[in-house]
Amino acid sequence: MKNRSLIFAAIFGALGLAACDEGDIQEQAADVQASGKVAQLTAHVSGLDSWSSQYSVVLAAFAEGSDYAVAQKPLPEDAEGDVQTTLNLTGDALTTVELCVTNRLRQRVVSFASVPVSQLQADTLRLDAGNVDLGMFTTIQELVFTGTCARCHGLGNSPAGGLTLAAGESYAALVGQPSSHPERGVRVVPGNATVSLLHKVIHGDPESGVKFDHSNMIKEARTITLIDNWINAGANP
């Protein structure tokens, strides 16, 4: 009897460690091998609750050359304003600790602040991220629109396609707005990426009717998915 429960414990233990998208299980695993080293985040945050369910806003540790978090801990869902949280650091190969958003594969989608593990002092690695707007739409603006799109879709008199994607202007120009060629439909239909012109354009769908190839502009598939998920989750500001 005793042996049997030990075997069960061993099996469940192994399953627990193998399940990799459960934050608290990962935390327990980290505790088991606790190295005593800890990362400590201090930040003043807003917009965390705007993320759709496919994503987690986390304090995460990454190893050299990998986009997948080795360990991560979600910020409390209702975090707003001053936040402090810690993450146990285990393993030798860690290179950075970041305040970031990961998807269900624990792959980094965007990073807001980062500190190299080499700055560890007395077993504590401090990440002071300051004021951070973590909003999902702000992220898309900074990650994609400002850097990649606004040079053609800027302010000024004649943005390409009559569409401005500059910060502060893009939301109103996209959400619920018909194309400058009305037969192309609405640029962003909240809750429905597939019918939205923005979705068709960034996927290079010829049915968009747009005569300028945008298909290779956004390099990462996860970034295109981020925009689709934002639209499907209601295209909130």
* Joined tokens for residue 228: 């689709």
State yes or no: residue 99 binds ligand HEC (CB under 6 A): no
Residue 174 CB, nearest distance to ligand HEC (Å)?
Answer: 8
State yes or no: residue 235 binds ligand HEC (CB under 6 A): no
How far apart CA 135 and CA 182 sit, in angstroms, is 30
Give the count of alpha carbons within 13 A of 177, CB side only.
16
* Joined tokens for residue 84: 């402090």
Among the listed residues 77, 151, 194, 215, the single contact to ligand HEC using CB under 6 A? 151
Give the Cα-Cα-Cα angle 228, 234, 237 (nearest 5 degrees). Answer: 95
In the complex with ligand HEC, the residue whose CB is nearer, 63 or 173, is 173
How far apart CA 135 and CA 118 sit, in angstroms, is 29
Among the listed residues 210, 231, 233, 235, the single contact to ligand HEC using CB under 6 A? 210
Q: Which stretch binds ligand HEC (CB under 6 A): 19-27, 58-66, 116-124, 195-203?
A: 195-203
How far apart CA 49 and CA 127 sit, in angstroms, is 21
In the complex with ligand HEC, the residue whose CB is nearer, 25 or 217, is 217
* Joined tokens for residue 73: 């801990």
State yes or no: residue 107 binds ligand HEC (CB under 6 A): no
In the complex with ligand HEC, the residue whose CB is nearer, 114 or 177, is 177
How far apart CA 168 and CA 107 sit, in angstroms, is 28
State yes or no: residue 212 binds ligand HEC (CB under 6 A): yes
Question: Which residues of this chain interact with ligand HEC, rule CB under 6 A?
Answer: 144, 148-149, 151-153, 160-163, 179-181, 184, 187, 197-198, 201-202, 210-212, 214, 217-218
